[in-house]
Structure 1
Amino acid sequence: MRVADLNGLRLHWREDGDPDGAPVVFANSLGTDLRLWDKVIPLMPSGLRLIRYDKRGHGLSDCPRGPYSMGQLVTDAERLLDHLGVRDCVFVGLSIGGMIAQGLAVKRMDQLRAVVLSNTAARIGTAEMWAERVETARGQGIEAMADGVMQRWFTAAFRETDEFAAWRNMLIRQPAEGYAGCCAAIAGTDFYTPTSGLRLPALGIAGSDDGSTPADLVRETVELIPGAEFRLIRRAGHLPCIEQPEAYAEALTEFLASIGHG
């Protein structure tokens, strides 16, 4: 159990692999904690320093009163990497984690040498949609919207498995205040202009059945970065690292090899 105190905000984080290896940092989606990557981490090549963390309001990290801004979430990641002495990492961000990746790449090019933008976009949804989710989370709890979220997250086939129940429980057990706070951060974010100015290796990953960030939306964002690659993972929704971990790890491994990371 590792907790970093970052100017009074305590973030839960975990490290796997080689502590002296090339760093790869994972940032998860709205409504999940760092267990999101449990299936992928064991499939990654040896010799890497694999770092993941619970963003504010999620998992075992602190849950300050919202709303949050994307700038706060980016600063949290920046301070964590400084705390851990991380430089020149590959930052893998899924959904809101991919937005954090974009913001951090713009702000701290010394910390990042490449980004993986997974199931994310420069802008996701509308302010009205996110305001509705904030209201529901605070008024009725996450459970009230869980079934709709699950349909966007997972394919119909995966929703028939026993494992599905555990991921639904992960969602509804996140703090409602943290969920609402991060919804507000997404609502206020439009990274089209700053992301179009990025010049670094980038990989986009999309799920063929993603109901939250469809593949075309992910591709549109990734193509803002010259030379970026794109991978579509079939038979997967918004969280392909859960439904298709082997394909996901293969995409990451090939990208890391192509840029000589590790």
Structure 2
Amino acid sequence: MKFTRINGVVLAHDIQGLGSDKPAIVFINSLGTDRRIWDHVVADLAGEFTILTYDKRGHGLSGIGQSPYRIEDHAADLAGLLDHYGLKNVILCGLSVGGLIALGLYKARPDLIRAVVFADTAHKIGTPEFWKARIEAVEMNGIEGILEPVMSRWFTPTYRTLDNADYEGYCNMLVRQPVPGYASTCAAIRDADFTETARSIAVPALCVVGDQDGSTPPDLVRSLADLVPQAGFEVIEGAAHIPCVEQPADFIARLRRFLNTLPGA
């Protein structure tokens, strides 16, 4: 685990394979989670790639910074972290708001990006009314007050069982996020529209989504794939919003197939 101050905010992160000539992959986590959602993926790819995972501002062990946020703030943090390590020509893999951050980074610093995997995300997510209600709810009752509806979007009914210790762990992950960071990131999602950026992407891309995703359903993710000129689109069966947790083997297999299409990867 490492900590680095970027744009006045301490970012908690892990990096493997730095200094090698291996391709670099950066994983960007979703709203209400931290970098540990990528553990299965990182373990499988370790040794083959330079891998960077991090907690975006307001999440995990990273600092909160000034609120409210914009997606551009999150993208600038990631650009600063990449510059800190001298990473270029990276492959981004962003889940949910992580996909918006990937779009924001492409808009600001396309020179850094070699390819993008958009997981369970879109160019615009939700409505202003939805995010207004979400912000008000967590500010009034804490994240615990939205636990059940959020989990119903994150995971399938099969996964959400009392005897699944992993499910309880991810519930804990959500409710232990800082309310200011969570609410500020909700505001960033509310105000984000990267439709034109998606149309401008000139690198290979893959859009994947769980077939039971309640946050960014398959049709919404397909609409992103339709905008991105070189994007493929794939659906992962038996998964909701976080397939890298619920169906890691399937997610990894699709990621590997995409990586194998990139020259030198």
Q: Is the 8 A contact 1:18 1:47 kept in 2?
A: no
Partner in structure 2 of residue 234 of structure 1: 237
Partner in structure 1 of residue 228 of structure 2: 225
Name stretches of at least 5 consecutive residues in structure 2 with no aligned partner.
Answer: none
Distance 1:127 1:87 in 2: 35
Aligned mate of 1:211, from 214, 221, 225: 214
Matched, 1:179 2:182: yes
TM-score for the superposition, normalised by structure 1: 0.97
Would the alpha carbon gap of residues 124 and 261 (structure 1) be closer, same or farther in structure 2, given more than 3 Å must change?
farther
Root-mean-square deviation (CA, aligned residues, Å) is: 1.2
Could you tell which deviates more after superposition, 131-140 or 206-215? Answer: 131-140
Partner in structure 2 of residue 97 of structure 1: 98
Partner in structure 1 of residue 28 of structure 2: 27
Aligned-residue offset at 1:134: 0.9
Distance 2:19 2:238 in 1: 34
Distance 1:242 1:230 in 2: 19
- The within-5 A match list for 1:18-167 is 19-20=19-20, 21-44=22-45, 46-160=47-161, 161-167=164-170
Q: Is the 8 A contact 2:72 2:105 kept in 1?
A: no
**Percent identity for Structure 1 against Structure 2:** 42
- The within-5 A match list for 1:3-18 is 3-17=3-17
TM-score for the superposition, normalised by structure 2: 0.96
Distance 1:27 1:35 in 2: 11
Aligned mate of 1:254, from 254, 257, 260: 257
Partner in structure 1 of residue 2 of structure 2: 2
Q: Is the 8 A contact 1:43 1:246 kept in 2?
A: no
Aligned-residue offset at 1:86: 0.7
Instruction: Report the residue type matching 2:97 in the other structure.
Output: I
Instruction: Report the residue type matching 1:232 in the other structure.
Output: V
Aligned-partner SS, 1:114: strand
Distance 1:149 1:7 in 2: 30
Aligned-partner SS, 1:110: helix
Distance 2:14 2:115 in 1: 21
Aligned mate of 1:243, from 240, 246, 259: 246
Aligned-residue offset at 1:26: 0.3
